[in-house]
Structure 1
Amino acid sequence: MRQRILALCLGLALLPTVYATDLNEESADIIKQTYESQLYTLPAFKEGHYGLRMYRQTLDNKYAAAVWSDMARVASRLNRFAAEVNTPEQILLYSEKRIAGYQDETDERSVRRYTVTKHMPEYLYLGVDLLGSMARANEYGLKHKEDAKLRQVIRRYDFNKYATDPEMIRAWAAQLANQVFWLKQLGEQDVTQAFIESFKAAYPDNEDKKLSKQQYGNKLYGLTHIIFADSQYYQRLVSEKQYQWIYDYFRANIDTILLRAKEDIIAEVGISFLLAGLEDDPVVAKTRDAIRKSIDKDKGMIPSVSGDFDLAYGEHRNVLAIMLLDWQSVNKAPTIEQHPRVFSRLPYGLEKK
């Protein structure tokens, strides 16, 4: 009799957990149906962003076409850089056109980016455009046919200059986190630790209350992207111990984060814990609850903070929501060695590394 009562009690204790799991998966499915019914109407970058993340989570070949779109975008950019934008003069002209796009913007983020980057405009070419494309090709097990030429371009610049500048960090925290890990991944300059120390100095925890909403978000994005970049974007688990300072910060400040941060950031905080194998951490439950409640059931997606339901504009926050709510696993994928079907025809310019 005692055993039956114990079993019954245990069953009842498990009910809330099972119920929450079902709710999370159902909520993820609502967003998934919205996006996957219209995936190939999205711009190539957004289509590839969604498809690659879902492929890495599920290894489902239904996302292979979206991954191919991403690969074609990468090839196109590297082809252009190898042929037309690689001398110092060409890079300067390209970068000055890019920086001009921020000149007339008045929001805090754009003003910060314009103000600091106009003094080193080549960063927009090197960090924002070139490194990301080369690293993505590298992750696929590919390289550009003029890889050696493009690496020579990278070696002309000391990335430490960008990664340790406090104003650059206040303007580009998440991007710099990505870029220092991409550089390391490519076997080039390793400034990951220099960036992390400079980031800590730029954003001391005891000054959080002085930060604007934009700057608080920039700090949080920087923290989550250190984790994301080290995982090579959901391809491998990271060590909680290595980034204890980040996880301790998130745990201590999760209630403030839920109040002050956008849904993109809240989802990224939760995913940071999943990337360390910490699915049972209370932070994950809190972020899942917040994200689940932010879904508009009628529109089948999470709107922007201003209430916008644009599918392309909202792709980033919504794919993160799917991953948080229905986390599968990390997978080193797709690669030309392990998933040849995805790479049955390579876009011009890319080859096996």
Structure 2
Amino acid sequence: MKKHWSILVLTSTVSLCSHAAIPQATQDFIAGSEQIKTTYQQHLLFLPPFKLGHYAIRMYRQTGDSSYQTGIWVDTARVASNLNRIANELYNPSLIEQASKNIDKRYQNSDPVKESLRKKTLQQYTEYIELAVNLIGSMARADELGLKHIQDDKLRALLNHYDFANYAIDPDMIKAWAAQLSNQVYWLKQLGVQDIVDEYISAFKKTYPDHLDTQLTDQQYANKIYGLTHIIIAASGYYQHSINEKDYQWVYDYFRSNIDTIIARTKEDVIAESGIVFLLAGLHDDPALIKTQRHILNSIDPKHNMVLSTTGSADISKGEHRNVLSAILLNWQGTNSSVNIQQSPHLFPTLPYGLVAK
């Protein structure tokens, strides 16, 4: 009851404060965001751990609502479990490679083109899933929360065995994993392991030159845009810090020139992220942003109070990424870097085994 009550209060507050002082379009965007948030609040604890953590951390950064504390702790436990397993079971490169072979079926995709691209890369880079997706991602999340693993030195030694530039500048890898690589090169920089951001961006531009956009399939065009959005989002620390537009002028110029094509050729999660990159730079009135907001608002299904998949699915778990991004896009509250044990110790009353404060 408490969680539902807090949403009703928030909705009422929005309604009371959104008369003459707030333009109608903004009121509509806020109301759309509240629709989505109310739907997800009702189903929050039914989400699997990764989805729950993804949603809770982003929503806490936007709202400061303590009802997301459980989700943050669940994600912390997920990270601890990943790092405990790797530190104690996959402590050398050969074990990393074998484990990756055993779980690569997880990356089978309903899109046969994407699945084929990813299988091709995993034949060459057997270790990629355990190394990049599990180890780097988990270490970066722990670091983001102000934590580290008790065997941090051991995990870093394992990371240092690999030169991540091998993956980051490979055009086949970029075509298969653009958004993931965008995340991972920034995570490596964040962890102080390897700074290859510039090399990755250079390789990305060569893989996807703008003048060849019309020759890309819709799947590859979406992969390009998804990779671009994650360059900005990863640079912000996932909504923790603002972005200076001039530092990424080429991205913002591209999005302004191509926003109509992006809306026409990509799915709603990518469209929402394309708008969020403008919010991260404080460009609240940019016409490109407003186009994405209007599109996402019109995409909310009135029966299910969420943005459905392109096939019309209202699956709460599968739609989490799409809908949390849509909620953020429609009612942006700014960046927030306080979700860590140093600034918000109340979020971490206990720590799962394996993690300690930095």
- Bin of the TM-score, shorter chain as denominator length: over 0.9
2:92 matches 1:87: yes
Greater alpha carbon shift after TM alignment, 15-24 vs 80-89: 15-24
CA distance in 1, matches of 2:265, 2:216: 11
2:116 matches 1:111: yes
CA distance in 1, matches of 2:111, 2:288: 35
SS at match of 1:47: helix
Is the 1:254–1:283 Cα contact (8 Å) retained in structure 2? yes
Is the 1:58–1:329 Cα contact (8 Å) retained in structure 2? no
2:56 matches 1:20: no
Aligned-partner residue type, residue 181 of structure 1: Y
- Post-superposition offset of 1:17: 6.7
Aligned-partner residue type, residue 36 of structure 1: Q
2:303 to 284, 298, 304: 298
1:188 to 168, 185, 193: 193
SS at match of 1:351: strand
**In structure 2, do the counterparts of structure 1 residues 276 and 340 end up closer, same or farther at CA, with 3 Å as the change threshold?**
same
SS at match of 1:118: helix
Q: Deviations over 1:119-147 (max 9, x none)?
A: 11111111111101000000111000000
- Post-superposition offset of 1:59: 1.9
CA distance in 1, matches of 2:120, 2:22: 49
**In structure 2, do the counterparts of structure 1 residues 42 and 150 end up closer, same or farther at CA, with 3 Å as the change threshold?**
same
Greater alpha carbon shift after TM alignment, 55-64 vs 273-282: 55-64
2:53 matches 1:48: yes
CA distance in 1, matches of 2:232, 2:281: 9
CA distance in 1, matches of 2:93, 2:197: 25
Number of residue pairs aligned between Structure 1 and Structure 2:
340
Report the counterpart of residue 8 of structure 1 in structure 2. none
- Post-superposition offset of 1:92: 1.4
Report the counterpart of residue 57 of structure 1 in structure 2. 62
- Post-superposition offset of 1:86: 1.7
Q: Deviations over 1:206-253 (max 9, x none)?
A: 010111111000000000000000000000001100100000000000
SS at match of 2:245: coil
1:270 to 270, 275, 299: 275
- Post-superposition offset of 1:169: 0.3
Report the counterpart of residue 339 of structure 1 in structure 2. 344
Aligned-partner residue type, residue 293 of structure 1: N
**For residues 1-353 of structure 1, what are the structure 2 equivalents within 5 Å?**
18-102=23-107, 107-353=112-358
CA distance in 1, matches of 2:260, 2:281: 20
Which has the larger Rg? 1
Identity %: 52
SS at match of 1:38: helix
Aligned-partner residue type, residue 75 of structure 2: D
Q: Which runs of 4+ in 1 moved over 3 A?
A: 14-17, 100-106
Aligned-partner residue type, residue 357 of structure 2: K
Aligned-partner residue type, residue 344 of structure 2: H
**In structure 2, do the counterparts of structure 1 residues 125 and 340 end up closer, same or farther at CA, with 3 Å as the change threshold?**
same
Q: CA RMSD in A?
A: 1.5
Unmatched 5+ stretches in structure 1: 1-13
CA distance in 1, matches of 2:110, 2:59: 33
CA distance in 2, matches of 1:315, 1:128: 19
Is the 1:238–1:276 Cα contact (8 Å) retained in structure 2? yes
CA distance in 1, matches of 2:24, 2:342: 40
CA distance in 2, matches of 1:191, 1:151: 17
SS at match of 2:356: strand
- Post-superposition offset of 1:333: 2.4
CA distance in 2, matches of 1:130, 1:63: 25
